[in-house]
Structure 1
Amino acid sequence: MRVERYVARDSRSAMAQVRAELGADALILANRRVAGQVEITAAIDVEHAVANAVPKRRSASEPERRPTPAASPTNEIQLKALENELERLRNILDKELGGRKWQETGKGPAQKSVLRQRLLRMGLSRTLAGELLDRLPRTERLDVAWRQIVTTLGDRLQISEAETIPGELTAVYGGTGVGKTSTIARLAGEDIQRIGSNRVGLVTLDSYRVGAQEQLASFADALGVPLFVADDRQSLSLALKKMQGRKIYIDTAGMSQHDARLRRQYELVRGFGKTVRHVLVLAASAQASQCRALAANFAPRALSGAIISKVDEAQSLGGVLDVVISARLPLLGFSDGQRIPEDLHYADGLELVRRAVQLADVDPAVPARQLRVAS
């Protein structure tokens, strides 16, 4: 076994030296950069190379030569040299990888790859994950980079309070089963505690499902406020006149994110010339694609904000947070239980992101230590 080192300005030149001197059967043992150049360590089995060598073409006058056995190389010396080279490579690897903590690994492109995988496991889209990584300040510590991303993601959520948004009417929209009616009861319940039940009223536009009307009627009875059912412009106008002077919450019909009637209900409420707060309810337990399609029914800035429901039932929060950020919706709050109105909370961007991280942390396919937010 013959072991040689070759140094050149680049890999191609070094490989050309290997091929010229050792042939195409050479074995590459190591390839590294040294002082701005490329060093390649290669080896060749001398006996095998001689046995397989192609004889040169002889002239007609040249007598035929029979190959003579090559002298046996000092195998022990060459084997020892190979062992020494392998030991040197092993020491280099141990020095590079041994004893490293996860926070200290993943520099450069590798670091971004690790961070991107964590963001995708949280449920964020590739688009938002890419934006966060592009804005990441340069750092060699993975834990510092992760903490910066979590903080940036929390800052991307626009947090608002419903009370600060002007509006005589509050219309609440959402898909089927997102907890829209419960959200209205919670919002109305907070107003009743603040201004009294004689200043609050409810209207439902959901004439499609009897169960939805019964649920809101139960809430109205419990809260001690009037409830009117409307299914067109005339009946809605009559209901609003009867409750003039009250803060009115309008429950729209829960429909599929692809149902055109959802948009028509928005236009119906908007057409009365009153100031209206248009609030979209997004269920954290729904798929991100459903939430995104639901938000797409409304023109940009048509909505006053969003409320995330069913946070306690979600297996992932990244998807719904992605939709809120991408649609540039102010986040008015979130709910995480069945109590009314206690389980409606004002939003805290960083706290919601931490919850999203914790939910990703329980995924058995992801090492918990790689998704934990450093305190």
Structure 2
Amino acid sequence: MKIRRFFGKDMRDALAQVKTELGGEAVIMSNKKVGDGIEIVAAYDREPSPSLMPKPSPAGKKSPSLSDIIGDSGPDSLRALLEQQSKAAASAQAEPSQPAAQDSRGSVSTPSSAPASTPAQQRPAAAAPQSASSTPVAASQQASSTSDKDLQDIRQELASLRNVLQFQVSGLIEQDRRRAHPLHNYLAGRLEQMGIEPALADEVVSYTPEACDERQAWVYLLKLLANRIHTTGDSILNAQGVVALVGPTGTGKTTTVAKLAARYAQKYGQDQVALVTIDSYRIAAFEQLATYGKIIGCAVKKAHNEQELADVLYQLRNKRLVLIDSAGFGQRDSRLIKQLDTLRTHSCASIKKYLVMQANSQYQVMERTINTYNQISLQGCIFTKLDECYSLGEAVSAAISHRLPVSYLTNGQQVPEDLHVADAKYLITTAAKLYKKYALAHTANQAEAKRAHAV
């Protein structure tokens, strides 16, 4: 078996040279990138046919031999090349690894175990075996790294193909499901447009009776969603004790506390309710709550830490209801954990916690908020800013999916008029009206026309 090396500007050019000179039966042994293109090492069993032989060189010029092409010291057969590489690898493993030394001229040399007579005699003796053994090892390492890179590229391509196939298969399964249950697919799509989370929409649609038309099935689904919403009734205003409103910043906790306090003062008297703030981060947080307290006519206190909160609650132990306004933090804020720990202490074990959330938030935001505040046992939630919603299905989905009871709804800034006891039927009806007004194409166009006409 003979070997030859070919150089080309790219892989196609090099392969064309191999095919032209050696024929189609040549075996590609290796390929690698060089400075100006690609180098290919090919092997062949017999001499190529005369038609495939390279053209003779002009007169006076000697044709390059195989030794000239692959190097003066290169073997003429594949077996000799393999034997040389195996000997070089064995000698490299047998020799102990020693750090390379650098002389004053900047050249690097490796110390040799042979006895040295003079520095001038030592350098050539040590350099010769190194160059003979390190060249095949370096070539083998480079070929190995190239092979690893190619293998990694193949794996990435296979992973990409797998993702595409999975997407196509899921699409086919979805098409089959739609063809099998066209009404269910239509109703699930309407629920998702209303803001209902897709998993919840598929779940409730699966209970739809078969012998129903589109209108009957839609009414059935709305009633089913309403039955799955848990409410607490007027739990805060009908009870006694300590209640804390928690939640992210900007959800309207302070205004909701004022609404609850005003309602409670109207029902039981202003001396039966007190307000406490533990918000020591927001500017003028205490002043805002104190203004509400002055209008309502109830006591207002503040606490900066766990001990102060325990002392304030002891001072207000004769009050029928104590409402705590907490600071608003994002779910990833470290100060939130500190605040939750304050509400979780043994001295505050009797505090009832209610989560305040904006009804116009995204479902993912609500879900992460509920998961964060579930570290403390929540008695319910309060949805605010219903007047700013264009879709209410996200709030409905969050309450149903996490089985979090809904206590109150707020739809404005007026104190205490814009506070309402939560009702499941009202929530679903409002969500359906918002969907009909803003989500459906024809009704949305009508709403836009009415607003433009009003202007």
Measured in 1, the distance between the counterparts of 2:376 and 2:328 equals 21
Structure 1 residues 79-228: aligned runs within 5 Å = 109-161=181-233, 162-163=235-236, 168-228=241-301
Q: Who is 1:360 aligned against? A: 435
State the match for 2:368 in structure 1.
Answer: 293
CA positional deviation for 1:280: 0.5
- C-alpha distance in 1, partners of 2:258/2:264? 10
Superposed counterparts of 1:42-61, under 5 Å: none
**Following TM superposition, by how much is the alpha carbon of 1:164 offset from its aligned partner in structure 2, in angstroms?**
8.0
Would the aligned equivalents of 1:203 and 1:249 in 2 still touch at CA under 8 Å?
yes
Q: 8 Å contact 1:107–1:140 — kept in the other structure?
A: no
Cα deviation, 1:336-365, whole Å, max 9, x if unaligned, reads 111111111111111111111111112265
Provide the C-alpha distance between the structure 2 equivalents of 1:178 and 1:289, rounded to a whole number of angstroms.
Answer: 16
Q: Structure 1 counterpart of 2:341, which letter?
A: E
Q: Which of 258, 267, 274 is the matching residue for 2:341?
A: 267
AA matched with 1:143? R
Deviation at 1:334, TM superposition (A): 0.2
Distance in 2, matches of 1:346 and 1:257, equals: 27
The CA deviation string for residues 185-220 of structure 1, in whole angstroms up to 9 with x for no partner, is 111111111111111111111100013322212111
* C-alpha spacing 1:298/1:176, structure 2 compared with 1 (3 Å): closer
Asked if 2 retains the 8 angstrom alpha-carbon contact of 1:263 and 1:297, the reply is: no
Work out which of the residue numbers 322, 326, 344 in structure 2 matches 1:252: 326
Q: Compared with structure 1, are the counterparts of its residues 126 and 353 closer, same or farther at alpha carbon in structure 2 (3 Å cutoff)?
A: same
Unpaired stretches in structure 2, ≥5 consecutive residues: 1-177, 445-455
**Distance in 2 (alpha carbons) for counterparts of 1:142 and 1:316:** 22
Are 2:310 and 2:348, in contact at CA under 8 Å, matched by a contact in 1? no
TM-score (norm: length of structure 1): 0.66
What are the ranges of 5 or more consecutive residues in structure 1 without an aligned counterpart? 1-105, 370-375
The answer to whether the Cα contact below 8 Å between 1:201 and 1:227 also exists between their aligned partners in 2 is yes
> RCO greater where, 1 or 2, for CA within 8 Å and sep 6 or more?
1
Contact 2:237–2:263 at 8 Å: present in 1 too?
no
Structure 2 matches for 1:325-336, cutoff 5 A? 325-336=400-411
Structure with more helix by fraction: 2
- Which of 311, 318, 323 is matched with 2:398 structurally? 323
The number of residue pairs the alignment matches comes to: 264
Which letter maps to 1:340?
V
Partner of 1:314: 389
**Contact 2:184 2:206 (8 Å CA) reproduced:** no
Secondary structure of the equivalent of 2:373? Answer: coil
Cα offset, 1:275, TM superposition: 2.1
What SS does the aligned partner of 2:372 have?
coil
Once residues 163 and 307 of structure 1 are traced to their aligned partners in structure 2, the CA distance between those partners, rounded to angstroms, is 11
CA separation of 1:357 and 1:301: change in aligned 2, threshold 3 A = farther
Given the alignment of the two structures, is residue 340 of structure 1 paired with residue 420 of structure 2, yes or no?
no
CA distance in 2, matches of 1:134, 1:364: 23
Q: How many Å apart are 1:297 and its aligned residue?
A: 0.9
What SS does the corresponding residue of 1:307 show, helix, strand or coil? strand
Tell me, what secondary structure is at the counterpart of 1:304?
strand
CA contact (8 A) 2:262 2:415 kept: yes
Give yes or no for the alignment of 1:280 onto 2:280: no
Give the letter aligned to residue 109 of structure 1.
H
Task: Say if 1:300 and 1:252 are closer, same or farther in 2 by CA, change over 3 A.
Answer: closer
Check whether the contact 2:245–2:325 (CA below 8 A) recurs between aligned residues.
yes
Letter in 1 for 2:356: V
Taking structure 1 as reference, are residues 167 and 270 closer, same or farther at Cα in structure 2, changes over 3 Å only? farther
- TM-score, normalised relative to structure 2: 0.55
Q: Retained in 2: the 8 A contact 1:167–1:276?
A: no
Q: Give matches, 1:28-47, under 5 Å.
A: none
Deviation at 1:259, TM superposition (A): 2.4
Cα offset for 1:234?
1.5
One-letter identity of the residue aligned with 1:332: S
1:42-82 Cα deviation digits (max 9, x unpaired): xxxxxxxxxxxxxxxxxxxxxxxxxxxxxxxxxxxxxxxxx
The Cα RMSD (Å) is 2.2
For residues 295-354 of structure 1, the C-alpha deviation after alignment (integer angstroms, 9 at most, x for no partner) is 111337810001110000111111011111111111111011111111111111111111
Question: 2: CA distance between counterparts of 1:159 and 1:205?
Answer: 27
Distance 1:320 1:149, change over 3 A: same
Amino-acid identity (%): 32
Q: Secondary structure at the match of 1:136?
A: coil
Paired AA for residue 324 in structure 2: I
Letter of the 1:268 counterpart: T
Contact in 1 for aligned 2:356/2:381 (Cα 8 Å): yes
Larger radius of gyration: 2
- Give a deviation string over 1:247-296, Cα, whole Å, max 9, x none: 11111101112224334323312322542211001111222221211111
Q: Name 2:149's counterpart in structure 1.
A: none
Query: C-alpha separation between the residues in 2 aligned to 1:284 and 1:225?
Result: 29
Supply the distance in 2 between the matched residues of 1:300 and 1:116 (Cα, whole angstroms). 33
